Structure 1
Amino acid sequence: MILLFSLPGPIQAETIKPEDFLTFDAKQAKLGQLLFYDKILSGNRNISCGTCHHHSLHGTDGVSLGIGEGGIGLGTKRVSEDGTNRIIKRIPRNAPGLWNLGHRDVKNVFHDGRISVSDVYGNGFDTPAEEWLPKGLTSIIAAQALFPMTSGAEMAGTHAENEVAGALKDRIDKGWPIIAKRVRTIPEYGALFVDSFEHINKPEDVTIVEIGNAIAAFIGSEWQSYDSPYDEWLTKGTPLPEAADRGRKLFFGKANCAQCHNGPLFTDQGFYAIGLPAFGPGRTRKFDPIPRDVGRMGATDQLEDAYRFSTPTLRNVALTGPYGHNGAYSDLSDMIRHMADPVTAREQWTRNKPTLPNVPWLQKADFIIQEDRLEMARQARVLDVVPVALSDAEVADIEAFLHALTGKTAATRPMGRPDKVPSGLQVD
């Protein structure tokens, strides 16, 4: 099935202003910086948020499907531990960038949008924790920050390894109090929370809510970016390089990129099937018999959402590859070609296109889903992209325009990575 889109007229993305962001407390942001890089938040005390969203990798991990628990190192150099600690599967989806998550327009997060702003459960958000998500989280970033801690493959580990994962076996929220106690009983953290939050009078008052809000303050203020050459073109009339300007005209015109990549964040925050090649363990549901990823349907249980994934922001996109929900393409030009003609690109895709850390015992399983003829046919039938014929020169021009969306100060963040953290654990 191919869905056709009609454009009401020329679409022009908007620039971003400082007032478009949520306001974050500076003390909480500084505390959040330490928590973001502290492995105390993981079940086995061996992985932090920063392991997969590192400053040196522009807020991502630089690979298609990462290694969480059981891994050592960063990015393409991250490898699995040996023996009983070796990983049993890759992280099923690509680690998204953190850019501009503090923008007031952000309404859902994760590739399937499984966390969204909503009061359906009386706590401000629709999340996998449903009514068990604690009240008091001040932003969608704070809600998002809590869930990697509940994932066995990402940060929690297995129930036989530590008390956090053991508690999660009972219910998704049961590990958070254990993590909060770990943090607040460290004297330096306890003092920082009392100093950063007006309602915290003593360390014993700290819960996972304050931890989430502090991490959100850091992410929301640290990863703001709106000083790209394109922004200067919009606000000051500064000319773009010739190739980038040609690419801009294609992006908003013939190539139809702006149908979905529009607005100040270059995303409509919708969900679409774009026909990416399937591989990896898949984000499977409990009753999935095969390693597939049904996308948005996994969050909504609605058949019409099958194989649809969120539209990513394109700000700083040149820094945040590989691309797609599973990182199917490591090269930005390959991703552009895929979006222009998904059917042909999928047929021509080869297994060297993604960037996968070397894990020999997983290599056969990495691509086993492609041997399932019926599943491949199901995925191929759902496509929300109308093909557009682009020459190699036009692809290069669009790529040049996407590079013009890179913030001039993107590599120079105001806070950066701390040298040490209160737990005393090693900082990646």
Structure 2
Amino acid sequence: MAAAQGISADDYIPVDPLQAELGQLLFYDKILSGNRNISCGTCHHHDHAGTDGLSLGIGEGGVGVGPERTAGEGPDAIRKRIPRNAPALWNLGHKSVEVMFHDGRLTRSDLYESGFDSPAEEWLPEGLDNLVAAQALFPMTSQFEMAGNPGENEVTGAVHERIDYGWPIIAKRVRTIPEYGEKFVAAFNHIETADQVTIVEIGNALGAFIASEWQSFDSPFDDWLAGVPLDDDAERGREIFFYSARCSSCHSGDLFTDQGFHALGLPAFGPGRTRRFDPIPRDVGRMGKSDLLEDAYRFRTPSLRNVALTGPYGHNGAFPTLEAMIMHHADPVASRSRWTLSDAQLPDVPWIAVVDGAIAQDAAEMKRQASVQDLRSLSISEDDVQYLVAFLNALTGKTAEDRPLGRPETVPSGLPVD
């Protein structure tokens, strides 16, 4: 397992400041969504450490941000929850990052001319600078995240025909706003006039913002690497984490992730990230990308930097606290047996509530999921849990809640900023 060596600014992909400033505006501008009612920042908000504080997000059609976000009303109300927990954005611009999304469906690859293996396959455009820029394009194509429902707008109609058909529509919306046109010309050397702006430049600006805005490597643990002792509880937790509990066998390296895929046996609920031929609301994890049976119900190991700020935890946000997530790792069978849907942070949505617990009623599927388990049982005391929590809190950057650019007050489209 890779030991943490320490992070510096040189460990991140280089970013043009003007592009990052442009990306900040785009990140919070609802013009990137089909119905102009949701932005990237809605579900990855600065007030919530780049997440939304929900187990499963409320996407297109919802109102508000964070745990107080509601499902909307009338014909604009949501039709289902987002199938997975909104992933944290911390340190995605680190040069070591190789995979994106809970199932790793975006990676660098020579398979396609774009340089990435992604859900867009050969239709992902060339010219995207890095993984962060590429991943920024995909929420725009998702019906329930940003695109909207069929028949509601031209973007979602185009996406339902082919995944890349919606991007030129979004790009035209952006570049025809004079302020955006001027900023693209200023930020990109190869852009001489606004009409040259494509989704590639939009993705690269978003990537520049995300990669620079969410860097974090000034935690008490980083101080420890430099020779400054942790407090007593965090030090006890560090010893448990690296030695007796061996958490670092998966949460390894400077980002505390092996970037691999593991089955944790989390309680199943929600609509699931279903494949086209799935008859039930389940989430098969990595297998949804690889089509390999050995990848069933396995999900990417998350980074633990700033983890204390980014609950709920798990690919579906099943556990509201670090204590609960640690206890699940120690005894997943017992944890799953005592878990109830009320443990999840799910705003009340009466018209889809029946879906929230439907998968748990499928005995055959529950048996399949229970049969795949990569965690080993661990004898751990209540004190040990608190020591581990203290150590995980020591991974929180001292400036984590003081970001370089933050949330803008206004955006060039004139749309409201969440």
Q: Output the TM-score relative to the length of structure 1.
A: 0.97
Please state if 1:419 is matched with 2:380: no
- In 2, Cα distance between equivalents of 1:244 and 1:351: 31
User: 1:288 corresponds to which letter in structure 2?
Assistant: D
Q: Deviations over 1:115-135 (max 9, x none)?
A: 011111121110000000000
Report the equivalent of 1:29: 20
Report the equivalent of 2:125: 134
Is the CA contact (8 Å cut-off) linking 1:40 and 1:183 kept in structure 2? yes
Task: Indicate the percent of aligned positions where both proteins have the same amino acid.
Answer: 65
Partner of 1:174, secondary structure, is: helix
The one of 44, 47, 52 equivalent to 1:61 is: 52
Is the CA contact (8 Å cut-off) linking 1:66 and 1:357 kept in structure 2? no
Structural mapping, 1:293-372, within 5 Å: 293-372=283-362
Kindly report the root-mean-square deviation, in angstroms, between the aligned alpha carbons of the 2 structures. 0.8
Q: CA deviation at 1:364?
A: 2.0
Report the equivalent of 1:248: 238
Is the CA contact (8 Å cut-off) linking 2:159 and 2:165 kept in structure 1? yes
Report the equivalent of 2:62: 71
Q: CA deviation at 1:418?
A: 0.3
Report the equivalent of 1:279: 269
The one of 343, 363, 373 equivalent to 1:373 is: 363
Partner of 1:50, secondary structure, is: helix
Structural mapping, 1:119-130, within 5 Å: 119-130=110-121
Q: CA deviation at 1:14?
A: 2.7
Contiguous gaps of at least 5 residues in structure 1: 1-6
The one of 31, 43, 59 equivalent to 1:40 is: 31
Q: CA deviation at 1:50?
A: 0.1
- In 1, Cα distance between equivalents of 2:36 and 2:195: 21
Q: Deviations over 1:95-126 (max 9, x none)?
A: 01100000000000100000011111121110
Report the equivalent of 1:115: 106
Q: CA deviation at 1:353?
A: 1.5
Partner of 1:352, secondary structure, is: helix
- In 2, Cα distance between equivalents of 1:234 and 1:80: 44
- In 2, Cα distance between equivalents of 1:119 and 1:109: 16
Is the CA contact (8 Å cut-off) linking 2:6 and 2:222 kept in structure 1? yes
- In 2, Cα distance between equivalents of 1:185 and 1:372: 50
Instruction: Spell out structure 1 runs of 4+ moving beyond 3 A.
Output: none
- In 2, Cα distance between equivalents of 1:254 and 1:87: 45
- In 2, Cα distance between equivalents of 1:174 and 1:365: 31
Partner of 2:136, secondary structure, is: helix
Partner of 1:116, secondary structure, is: strand
- Count, aligned residues: 418
User: 1:186 corresponds to which letter in structure 2?
Assistant: I
Report the equivalent of 2:379: 389
Q: CA deviation at 1:197?
A: 0.2
User: 1:395 corresponds to which letter in structure 2?
Assistant: V
The one of 139, 161, 176 equivalent to 1:148 is: 139
User: 2:51 corresponds to which letter in structure 1?
Assistant: T
Q: CA deviation at 1:354?
A: 1.2
- In 2, Cα distance between equivalents of 1:331 and 1:196: 41
User: 1:224 corresponds to which letter in structure 2?
Assistant: Q
Q: CA deviation at 1:12?
A: 3.5
Q: CA deviation at 1:137?
A: 0.3
Contiguous gaps of at least 5 residues in structure 2: none
Report the equivalent of 2:88: 97
Is the CA contact (8 Å cut-off) linking 1:269 and 1:311 kept in structure 2? yes
- In 1, Cα distance between equivalents of 2:287 and 2:3: 31
Q: CA deviation at 1:159?
A: 2.0
- In 2, Cα distance between equivalents of 1:169 and 1:69: 16
- In 2, Cα distance between equivalents of 1:275 and 1:81: 32
Q: CA deviation at 1:49?
A: 0.1
Report the equivalent of 1:197: 188
- In 2, Cα distance between equivalents of 1:13 and 1:234: 8
Is the CA contact (8 Å cut-off) linking 2:218 and 2:398 kept in structure 1? yes
Report the equivalent of 2:177: 186
Is the CA contact (8 Å cut-off) linking 1:12 and 1:252 kept in structure 2? no
Report the equivalent of 1:3: none
User: 2:245 corresponds to which letter in structure 1?
Assistant: A
Is the CA contact (8 Å cut-off) linking 2:3 and 2:254 kept in structure 1? no
Partner of 1:43, secondary structure, is: coil
